[in-house]
Amino acid sequence: MITQFTRLDVAKVAIAATATSSDATRGAAQPVRGTDMGPEQSAAPQFPNGFYWGVATAAYQIEGSPEADGKGKSIWDTYAHTPGKVKNGDTGDVANDHYRRYKEDVAMMKDMGAKAYRFSIAWPRIFPNGAGEANPKGIDFYSRLVDELLAAGIEPFATLYHWDLPQALQDKYGGWQSRETPKAFGEYSGYVAKNLGDRVKHFFTINEFHSFVEMGHQGVELMVQGKPVRIELAPGLKLEPAALNQVRHHAVLAHGLSVQAIRAMGQPDIKVGPAEVINTAVPVIDSPHHTKAAEAATRELNAAYLGVMLEGMYSDAYLSRAGKDAPKFTDEDLRAIASPLDFVGINVYRPIIYVMASDDGPGYREVPFNVSHPKMFSSWHLLGPEVLYWAPKQLQSIWEPKEIYITENGCAASDQVAADGDVYDSDRVMYLRNGLAQLQRAAAEGVRVKGNFVWSAMDNFEWSSGYGTRFGMVYVDFKTQKRTPKLSAAWFKEAASRNAIV
Ligand code: PNW
């Protein structure tokens, strides 16, 4: 009990010290706060100077205007309009009407204290048929958005593929089943870099390889609190193992060709990397024995995506698991896939598995989630804030990327506008505070994390779950398009302004 009281007292002092030092120390180099507390009780340092406190969205989830200015159809236009695919028959036809309200949305992000914005570019706005003739009105929209962001002092980070494949490529080639799609993606990437690269200095190639490949081409089933949860995304295929492995390979090949095209066509100071949902094995016990085992597990869990991108080869374990269904590839493919990167972006929502060291098998074994393990509001979202420590820590230790971005983290909540007009998303504040404190711990230990993007800047179209699953720090009334910042937006603003959580 005595230890508990002491910790509580220390925490109170730390909070008081943080409050008084916030304005004075903003931007200063790693100040030591609360020096009167004694050496072993001093507060954790801030995030590094210039840390990007960002927010994220994706084109199909917010833009609406599916036919404006010559846009072609994407596989999400088709999928959402297929009866039974999306909850309540919701579609992205209007979404947040961001295509027309982008100025208002940029102003809102500025008000929240966001220093960076990760948005995605809709490929079928730029190439309505996936390849061939570009549509200048498509790139104009993103050019205006980028100008608006820069004028607001918000750094633009653009994702080239956030799942809205041109329908023409699906129809003509079977989409990601063909090598034509990575080739077309390379050309599209080069075109965008050439046209926006004078102002956009950070590009992410592809968002969540693992999600759109597995959930879009087979469907994924997870056990959460003892119940099965099935997730599907467009195009909603159910491929055989060999075809699925080939889609995986084409996805990483597209990334590699995109990196090469950006280097060839864009300005030399452009930085580029992927934005992958890293499958993180979290050690249940914090001893070197178990943490090493967890690292080995994480490396293997990501073999088909981050592994091949960062090592230039598929792991033996992956290839032997795949057996006769292994992907077909050339050495040249591997060289392209492993093109040197400036950073690695990772989306981090939850631990994928907990592990312990083991003398059997690969040196680790999975520890099952207890049925009572807490979760957040969306069906798949088991809670484990420490994953925001382990994911970047393991990423750095296994593959040593130059820089790391957390390209997404956040949670859904049952948000409602209260009688007084505010939205009290206490669970989201809890989630962000605990997760980002873990990220701060990683940064304090020398993990080269340069920024974090909260998913999401505002409520939006949550894929197959539709509009009922709200991930925003800003509430959106989808009938009136009114935006209302939630409690979490106020929390974010405060944390961003002092560049620290604790
Ligand atoms: C990401 N999981 O998807 C996407 O990048 C976003 O577009 C999406 O809105 C956001 O996270 C929230 O879902 C995920 O099952 C989908 O662990 C599924 C999982 C994680 C992320």
Ligand 1 binding pocket, CB closer than 6 Å: 58, 207-208, 211, 231, 277, 347, 349-350, 380, 408, 455, 462, 471
For the beta sheet containing 353-357, the strands, ordered from the edge strand earlier in sequence to the opposite edge, are: 281-283, 353-357, 364-367
State the amino acid at position 141 in one-letter form. Answer: F
226-251 mean pLDDT: 98
Share of the chain above pLDDT 70, in %: 91
Give 261's contacts (C-beta < 8 A, 6+ positions apart). 186, 187, 189, 190, 193
Torsion sign across C-alpha atoms 360, 362, 363, 366: negative
The backbone torsions φ and ψ at residue 291, rounded to the nearest 5 degrees and listed phi first, read -70, -35
Per the prediction, the chain carries an average pLDDT of 93
Express each pLDDT in 291-320 by its tens digit. 999 999 999 999 999 999 999 999 999 999
Q: Got the DSSP string for 416-429?
A: ---TTS----HHHH
Of 165 and 10, the one with more pLDDT: 165
Ligand 1, atom 20, residue with closest C-alpha? 349
Pocket test for ligand 1, best of 157, 220, 455 (most atoms within 8 A of CB): 455
pLDDT given for residue 270 in this prediction? 98
Tokens of 364: 């680790």
Catalytic residues: 208, 408
Pocket test for ligand 1, best of 347, 381, 382, 459 (most atoms within 8 A of CB): 347
Are the C-beta atoms of residues 457 and 105 closer than 8 Å to each other? yes
200 vs 389: CA distance, rounded Å: 29
Ligand 1, atom 7, residue with closest C-alpha? 58
The backbone torsions φ and ψ at residue 407, rounded to the nearest 5 degrees and listed phi first, read -85, -15
* Three-state secondary-structure class, residue 203: strand
Assess whether the previous peptide bond of 283 is cis (omega < 30° from 0).
Answer: no
CA 233 – ligand 1 centroid, Å:
10
145 vs 209: CA distance, rounded Å: 26
Q: Got the DSSP string for 464-481?
A: GGGGGSB--SEEEETTTT
Ligand 1, atom 16, residue with closest C-alpha? 211
246 vs 328: CA distance, rounded Å: 7
Return the ligand 1 atom nearest residue 462 CA. Answer: 9
Q: Where are the alpha helices (DSSP H) in 197-315?
A: 209-217, 241-265, 288-301, 308-311
pLDDT given for residue 46 in this prediction? 85
380-407 mean pLDDT: 98
399 vs 425: CA distance, rounded Å: 36
Pocket test for ligand 1, best of 61, 211, 229 (most atoms within 8 A of CB): 211
What kind and span of H or E run contains 274?
A: strand 271-277
Express each pLDDT in 143-171 by its tens digit. 999 999 999 999 999 999 999 999 999 99
Give 6's contacts (C-beta < 8 A, 6+ positions apart). none
168 vs 177: CA distance, rounded Å: 13
pLDDT given for residue 1 in this prediction? 33
Are the C-beta atoms of residues 285 and 292 closer than 8 Å to each other? no
CA 277 – ligand 1 centroid, Å:
8
Tokens of 352: 């994928």
Q: Hey, how many other C-beta atoms are within 10 angstroms of the C-beta on 464?
A: 19
What confidence tier does 44 reach under pLDDT thresholds 50, 70, 90?
low
Express each pLDDT in 209-228 by its tens digit. 999 999 999 999 999 999 99
Of 147 and 360, the one with more pLDDT: 147
pLDDT given for residue 28 in this prediction? 37
Return the ligand 1 atom nearest residue 207 CA. Answer: 5
Give 245's contacts (C-beta < 8 A, 6+ positions apart). 304, 322, 325, 326, 327
